[in-house]
Amino acid sequence: MRRYIMYETYRLGILIDHLKAEDLISQIDEYISETPVQQIPHIFYVMSLASNRRIMLELLTDLARGVDEELPASIVAGILYQDRERYTVDELYTKVGMLASLLKDVDGEIAVSFRELKESYDEVQAVYGRRFKRKKARERMLARSAQVLEEELFQYASFAEEMDRKEWWFA
């Protein structure tokens, strides 16, 4: 079952352009090279041969069908927290908004939380994003928005740490 959670995690991560299909393929190739043939799931060979992002997304979508998205979305949020230095605050908010919009359960805790966070940021941008005489007030509000996002994503850091242990694929 854990493997199916990882399929959904990668699907969501790839859809928000944070995780790369190439990285997944290299992890699978590494697993294949280190594991006896009889222990390798057949689908890993198929995934290893995926030639592009679209094919990988199709495979992951089919494999993860019916998996509850709450845990995979939490893992992706934790990964975003770990990699937050790669993005501007605006890019992170965009990815969080995209993640919330991809979840089927629009009333789920993570979807509501991220949607509200993104809406709040958009409102702040609308008010303080324009040229303003009070530049310091604008900078304070935008810094506060960045801090709120980081605090929210930090709540999910432990999910990403657990995924990093690579035990998920093998259960």
Q: What is the pLDDT of residues 156-171, one digit of tens each?
A: 999 888 877 765 554 4
User: Which residues, given as ranges, of the chain have pLDDT below 50?
Assistant: 170-171
Q: What is the pLDDT of residues 59-70, one digit of tens each?
A: 999 988 888 888
Q: What is the pLDDT of residue 31?
A: 86
Please, are residues 60 and 4 in contact by the beta-carbon 8 Å criterion? no
Please, are residues 156 and 12 in contact by the beta-carbon 8 Å criterion? no
Q: What is the pLDDT of residue 125?
A: 79
Q: What is the pLDDT of residue 161?
A: 87
Q: What is the pLDDT of residue 168?
A: 55
Q: What is the pLDDT of residue 171?
A: 45
